[in-house]
Chains A and B, each alone.
Chain A
Amino acid sequence: MSLRERLLLARLRERDERAFREMVDENRDRVFNLLHRMIGVRAEAEDLAQEVFVTVFKTIDQFRGESKLSTWLYRVAVNHCKNRIKYLARRHDRDTGALDEIAERTAVVQGGEPIGAGQIRNPERALEGAEVEKLVQAAIAELDEEQRLVVVLRDIEELSYEEIVDITGLPEGTVKSRLHRARLALKEKLAKHR
């Protein structure tokens, strides 16, 4: 942990609002991206991200500072995610049709702001990109939960194996074999659309 992180952690333990907002702003995208890729529904991911940070506020005293704060945040997010997936499965509410706004992201620029069709320099290319993204997200959604998690952490969040081991609590060999099977499954799923 860096000195800056230690200072932030000390302020978080004092329940300092400014420190908390700083922490949320620094980590919101990585937490949200993980949740969104795992759940596939933006509204659910937004709601869950809020719950993750509320949990962080409540349980910050349990974080012993042995890993990076972001790693611990991922761990909290993964736990919430698993619970939500179970809950949604019970509600039979998770259908692939709910992979909602991928199409809306057709015209999303890098800064994340939606833009009008007239502003797209190359609409055909943007559409193609959105189609690919939709296919990839659908392929990820078809993976089982455990495979999906390692793929998202490794190939989308680009975390190291060490961090993934820390987050999931799995042995490195298990992470690697699970990831390999997930990648092969993705290859097969995406190959159908070539």
Chain B
Amino acid sequence: MACPEFEAEFSDYYDGTLPAERKTALEAHLAADAGCRDEYERFREAMSALSGLKRSQAPRELSERVAETIHRRSAGRFFGRKAFGDRVPYELLAGIGLILLVALYLTLRWSATGTVHDTWRRHEAQPIPEEARQAVPQP
């Protein structure tokens, strides 16, 4: 059981807002009175438990839900559905497209029957047969 006179100052003391003179008096009293000291310790523990509470986190989609509610309740006047162009992640699609193009090119380039491979081979220099070489007059 704490002395009411000193217990009334626990909050200000805990907050650090007790005037210096009263603070000194309270500290002297706590040092001398085991009952008050225990009560203040319990007070401090309770405050510590309070400040140690985890912060409750709101659902991440809250802004989406609120926007939908506003859209619905305003009969579509506010926060209308986004146009298709706003919702399509063009940067991502362009990246994926580029990767697919490179993959397609490499497939064609290295496949035995691929068009690119075939074209390249067709343009490779063929050795001139000996008969043809002889048929053509040499300078």
Contact = CB atoms under 8 A, between A and B. Distances in A.
Interface stretch (A2-10, A44-52, A90-98): A44-52
A180 B58 contact: no
Interface stretch (A64-72, A78-86, A115-123, A181-189): A181-189
A165 B62 CA distance: 28
A112 interface: yes
B49 A45 contact: no
A132 interface: yes
Most chain B beta-carbon neighbours within 10 Å: one of A25, A45, A50: A50
A28 B62 contact: yes
B133 interface: no
A177 B62 CA distance: 36
B49 to A, nearest CB: 5
A190 interface: yes
A20 B70 CA distance: 11
A15 interface: yes
Contacts of A155: 47, 50-51
A180 B11 contact: yes
Given A20-B67, A25-B63, A180 B56 contact: no
B59 interface: yes
B80 to A, nearest CB: 9
B99 interface: no
A57 interface: yes
Contacts of A140: 50
Contacts of A137: 53
B54 A105 contact: yes
A191 B42 contact: yes
Contacts, number: 105
A166 interface: no
A42 interface: yes
B7 A184 contact: yes
Contact of B56 (A20, A32, A179): A32
Q: Which of B12, B45, B53 has the most C-beta atoms of chain A within 10 angstroms of its own C-beta?
A: B53
Name the residue in B14, B43, B52, B73 with the highest tally of chain A Cβ atoms < 10 Å from its Cβ. B43
Contacts of A183: 10-11, 14, 43, 46-47
Interface in B82-103: none
Nearest to A157: B55
A75 interface: no
Q: Which 4 A-B pairs have the closest CB atoms?
A: A32-B58, A28-B58, A24-B63, A112-B57
Given A24-B66, A32-B58, A156-B50, 10 more contacts: A17-B78, A36-B56, A50-B65, A53-B66, A133-B54, A180-B8, A183-B46, A184-B10, A187-B39, A190-B46
14 contacts: A15-B78, A20-B67, A21-B63, A28-B63, A29-B58, A33-B58, A42-B56, A50-B65, A53-B66, A132-B49, A155-B50, A156-B51, A187-B43, A190-B42
Interface of B: 7-8, 10-12, 14, 39, 42-43, 45-47, 49-59, 62-63, 65-67, 69-70, 73, 78-79
